[in-house]
Chain A
Amino acid sequence: MTTTTTRPTGFVRDTAAVFVRESKPLVRDPFSVMFSLVQPLVFLGLFGPLLIGAAGGDVAGTLQWFVPGILVMVALFGTASTGANLLFEMQTGSHERTLVAPLSRSALLVGRALKEVVPLVIQGTIVVVVAVPFGFAVDVAGLILGLAILAVFGIGFGALSYTLALSCRNRDWMFWMVHQTLLFPLMILSGMLLPLDDGPDWMKVAAAVNPLSYLVGAERALLAGDFADPAVIGGAIAAVVTCAIGVLVGVRAMRRAS
């Protein structure tokens, strides 16, 4: 019988294998990246003009405040629903195949979560490119650092979405119920659409424990080129903490998966 040479696998190589597999549909069909970009673009196109009118300021100034929030929205929407792909693969049998393969369970989670970075960076760049002709001024170095912070957050939030999928197993309704219940409160309580300065105190308290608030603050500072703003450090810490919690919880859930 002919044998195939199989090397012992390791975490890094396994993670790379999972990352490549997860990224393939995006490479084969780049337009799929537009799917989760629709909602942020709708907010930019429809909510943006309302905000400009309500604020009474100039277009460029309002966009300078609003677009960084839309970047955070891209990260939120794109990664929050990514667990649905895993949920589907769990139900069809594809995930079971990967569990029987000699892959590190941690790599199965981390490889998937890392994949979130690619569409997130592409989508963020598209949003900025769309906004520039309307007067949005972007600091390129700030954009790169801002996308890097969002990528770190996206890995963590994607991992949390996968964890939710692993917990829900064949109960799609539960996944979507949790998803919908959390998504909009997180978005509104981050101040990405409207400032929370005039909101009630309880909203300010909720925003203070919402990592997205810190991300929004960091993105506004970075895209304006204000690297010295303390909000940058706050956003970076929020992203790293989200990433650490997401990956830790996700790896634990994946190790228990059967």
Chain B
Amino acid sequence: MTNQMITAQGLTKTFRSKGQTVEAVRSLDLTVGEGELVAFLGPNGAGKSTTLRMLTTLLPPTSGDAVVAGCDVRRDPAGVRRRIGYVGQGSSGGHTQRVRDELHAQGAFYGIGRRETRTRAAELIESLELGQVANRTVQSLSGGQKRRLDIALGLIHRPELLFLDEPSTGLDPHSRANLWQHIVELRRATGTTIFLTTHYLDEADRLAERVMVMDHGSVIADDTAWALKGSLAGDRVTLTFENATDASAAAARLGGEIGGAEGASAHVVNITAPGGDLALPRYILELAELGIEVAAATHRQPTLDDVFLALTGRSLRDEAAHAEPALVG
């Protein structure tokens, strides 16, 4: 049986803002097993970061309990802090500090002996490719280099559990890919449990073993990305017709939705179907029997955005695009 690295029950956080009570996290229950890589998805303001801040002892919960790495976040916050690594949304290195100095200071913060800290810092500098910039100040680093330093700072004490809050937000695609390659390799080598928040759906889909979807302070789905996509979204089948009349008849017959009210999109029918690759030829034959000819047909696997859309009626991708901060890798 897998040991639980995080268990939370009824975790709630409310804030007072301008005379009103805002419930940022509502009675959250969650578990994360040892060695898992779990992605916490949701739009800005969903409560992801507040949850993370409670689990990392940065914020006291209003109610509910959480045990992180074997320590209660309320009764033994120091125990939690000793066992976890945390990489927040911002840049963790002091801007006037040198990279190597910051790693040495971080080792001292965790009570690691001087010699061991130096050895560990050297390992991390090498594995995260920071050797070229080790003696430079943090303010002179690129966005990608700063993020790799953040990861190194979070790992100096070899934590059992690493929290990553939006680790790749704002990085350019190359820096993102590079950062994830490092995280995946480090995890492979150490078996560290990783709990991360992100609004990059492709990252969660590709890298996480389990995905939790959060909206309005509550977890609304929790499963593997594959299972979520299969059970909640289904495959996307798109059929295009010569005219809107055929499209309308096909939609009525197959239970699909017309792509739009007028213009070319009125000729398009979208259908959500489990096993869409098998359904597509069947649809074409069925419509041919009615004398309706399909002009074009496509089929695609669902994405986590489709899952979010199915659950909330909103697109996570659109919300993420609007909330994108400007940081260049």
- Enumerate chain A interface residues (CB-CB to B < 8 A): 1-9, 13-14, 16-18, 20-21, 24-25, 28-29, 32, 85, 88-89, 91-94, 96-103, 258
Are A92 and B97 interface neighbours, CB within 8 A?
no
* Residue B48 lies at the interface, judged by CB distance under 8 Å to chain A: no
**Contact of A6 with B112 at beta-carbon distance under 8 Å, contacts A21-B105, A99-B58, A100-B56 already known:** yes
Is the Cβ of B98 less than 8 Å from the Cβ of A2?
no
Chain B contacts for A16, CB-based, 8 A? 108
Are B89's CB and A101's CB within 8 A?
no
Please name the 6 residue pairs, one residue from A and one from B, whose CB atoms are nearest each other, closest first: A93-B90, A21-B105, A17-B108, A7-B111, A101-B109, A97-B92
B203 touches A (CB below 8 Å): no
Of B37-45, B80-88, B216-224, B254-262, the stretch lying at the interface with chain A is B80-88
Contacts A25-B96, A85-B96 known; 19 new A-B pairs at CB < 8 A: A1-B192, A4-B110, A5-B113, A5-B116, A8-B82, A9-B109, A9-B110, A9-B111, A20-B108, A88-B95, A89-B94, A91-B90, A94-B90, A94-B91, A94-B94, A97-B106, A97-B153, A100-B58, A100-B86
* Option from B59, B81, B156, B160 in Cβ contact (under 8 Å) with A102: B81
Q: How far is the CA of A237 from the CA of B20 in the complex (A)?
A: 46
* Interface footprint category on B: 35 or more
Would A24 and B105 be within 8 Å (CB), given that A97-B86, A100-B84 are in contact?
yes
Count contacts between A and B, CB distance < 8 Å.
110
Known contacts: A1-B191, A5-B116, A93-B89. The answer to whether A102 contacts B53 by CB under 8 A is: no
Question: Which residues of B (49-105) have their CB < 8 Å from a CB of A?
Answer: 53, 56-59, 78, 81-82, 84, 86, 88-98, 101-102, 105
B158 is an interface residue with CB less than 8 A from chain A:
yes
Contact, CB under 8 Å: B191 / A102:
no
Asked if A258 and B86 sit within 8 Å, CB to CB, the answer is no
Report the minimal beta-carbon distance from B24 to chain A, rounded to whole angstroms: 13
Contact A25-B78, Cβ < 8 Å, known A1-B158, A97-B86, A258-B59: no
User: A32 to B96, alpha carbons, bound, how many Å?
Assistant: 11
Given contacts A6-B82, A20-B108, A24-B97, contact A96 B57 (CB under 8 A): no
